[in-house]
Chains A and B, each alone.
Chain A
Amino acid sequence: MNRNHLREGSITVFIHLLLILLTLFMLLPFIWMLSTSFKLPQDVFGFPPTLFSKDSTLIHYKFLIEEQNLLLIVWNTFFVAFTSTALSLFFTSLGGFGFAKYNFPGKEPLFAFLLATMVVPFAVTMVPSFILMRYFKWVNTFWALIVPGAANAFGIFFMRQYIASINNELLDAARIDGATEFAIYRRIILPIITPALTSLGLIFFMASWNNYLWPLIILKTPAKFTIPLAIASFGGAVGLTNYPGQMAMSVISIIPLLIIFLLFQRRFVEGVMAGAVKT
């Protein structure tokens, strides 16, 4: 018994040690990002390293606002993320509703086809999609970031799962009252699936906010840049690399998502879990 207790004790110590170490590992890059963003360029690699030096400064944030069009870049990113999320939520919930609550010829093969499209990696469509965007004259416009992915297969699948659990009697009652099918979607389905919309919306928003490769291919002028592009194009010119400015931009890119994440953490995690486990 005593020995058991001892073992229990040492396990508990081990577990807590592991968790503390991991917490440090997880936080270190964030802390260093923040600390670097307040340093003067010559102090970034100062020795010994300091967390917050006496010369801490906000000049890099000021520089971002005054010289780097920060507000415009944040707006671009937000506009694209918000619009594409809204459009995606509409199309995916509508599609999920269609698959969950109707029987129609060809339903099974159509759904199988939808699932199959999910295995196509971006690498395969990257080049021809760019050519198509050029053909549409959508290069360097936000259209190319918003429209092509607006009816996401994963989203429809996710919504179908959720909507299938809604009781059919509710829908039939509405039909007897003479509601159109779209009104049923609008009046009954949408209010019920709000939690699912939130989960999925958060994931869509995050994906768009952080997307790098496709915007890199599409957006050409700095006035159209989204935040990840702005971080990547930072400094780099012959001269001292402006690490603090770059890190300041990074901090700004993370804060909005972090706030949203902390506010909606449960929904966020649910979205991730549901997406993974049900596949």
Chain B
Amino acid sequence: MESIERTTTRPPKTFARRKQAVLRQARRSRWAYVFISPFYILFTIFGLGPLLFSIYLSLTEWKGVGPLEFAGLENYARLVQDTVFWQSMRNGVILFFLYVPIMLLLALVLAVILNSGRVRGYRIFRTIVFMPFITNMVAAGFAFRILFTQQYGLINIGLGWLGLPAVPWLESVWGARVSLSVLIIWAWLGYNMVIMMAGLETIPRELTEAALVDGATPRQAFFHITIPLMKPVILFTAVTSTIGSFGLFAEVASLTQGGPINATITPLIRIYDVAFGGLRFGYASALAYTYFAIIFLLTIMQVRFARERD
């Protein structure tokens, strides 16, 4: 070793030191593999394994016991005509339009108001708006169910006091969808508001203040300065909400059970029903993969759409 070093043209000391450093780093980086390995081991067993197995499963007919029957693409051909599945996808889109714009606009307005510092006691308000986020949705769903009950539910009694007719909230297609949307807005408004607040902090306050000094109305400042600058944050919340509305489960299971006439069934509920109610694990896997592909495309489209508007 030493003799080789001596024959080099570089100053021997530096080289040795550097080599030692490299060796040390290599030794250290071995530890890095150890440190990150739990994720890869667990993911291989509990993520990748099931994912790959599920591809195979989607090509079979299997009731969960007994032999797997290979079925080729039959499951995928079948799901093309599965009206309930497509209804569930449609419901995801409908729900998205029912609650996402209102929720995000409300969250942004609240964030702007709270950030402006003109409201006293805003911490208390933030705490209250955020509370539903920590509530489990089974409890919340059943509580809303009691509130929305057609006869003697508090909401309809309240409407009666205002001289309005009772609404069949859980007994009609659109009533159920609106009820579900109200529950989701209630649950997620605080979360989105907090994220918007974090986003607003990255916008220099002088920008809006300068605009106001120049004679812009607060509304103009909001639409022409705040919203454009908040676009990445809004996009993030929109994407999460989209994925969220397709993947609702506990909310629907406790509030509407997917009814009436499948008006509030979501893809996740459909997959669950097919797998654990109908005993069709192969078909459920095909549904799940199709669902995954569609969600993936939707997300990409949303991001593209946002970019193009720039």
Contacts and interface: CB of A to CB of B under 8 A. Distances in A.
Interface in B158-216: 186, 189-191, 194-195, 197-199, 202
Contacts, number: 268
Contact of A117 (B47, B50, B127): B47
A161 B21 CA distance: 26
Interface stretch (A56-64, A66-74, A190-198, A269-277): A269-277
A186 B45 CA distance: 27
A199 B299 CA distance: 28
Interface residues of B, number: 95
Contacts of A107: 32
Contact of B38 (A19, A27, A91): A91
Contacts of A29: 132, 140, 143-144, 147, 186
Interface string A226-267: 011001100000000001001101100110011001100100
Interface residues of A, number: 91
B99 interface: no
Contacts of B25: 103
**Prevailing SS type, chain B contact patch:** helix
Interface string B93-133: 00000000000000001100100001100000111111111
B292 A123 contact: yes
Interface of A: 11-12, 15-16, 18-19, 22-23, 25-30, 32-33, 36, 44-49, 91, 94-95, 97-99, 101-105, 107, 110, 114, 117, 119-132, 147-151, 153, 156, 181-182, 185, 206, 209-210, 212-213, 217, 227-228, 231-232, 243, 246-247, 249-250, 253-254, 257-258, 261-262, 265, 268-269, 272-273, 276-277, 279
28 contacts: A26-B129, A27-B128, A33-B139, A47-B157, A94-B38, A98-B32, A103-B25, A104-B30, A104-B32, A110-B40, A125-B54, A126-B271, A127-B54, A131-B50, A147-B46, A148-B45, A156-B36, A182-B31, A212-B136, A212-B250, A213-B249, A213-B250, A213-B272, A243-B142, A243-B146, A247-B142, A250-B136, A277-B198
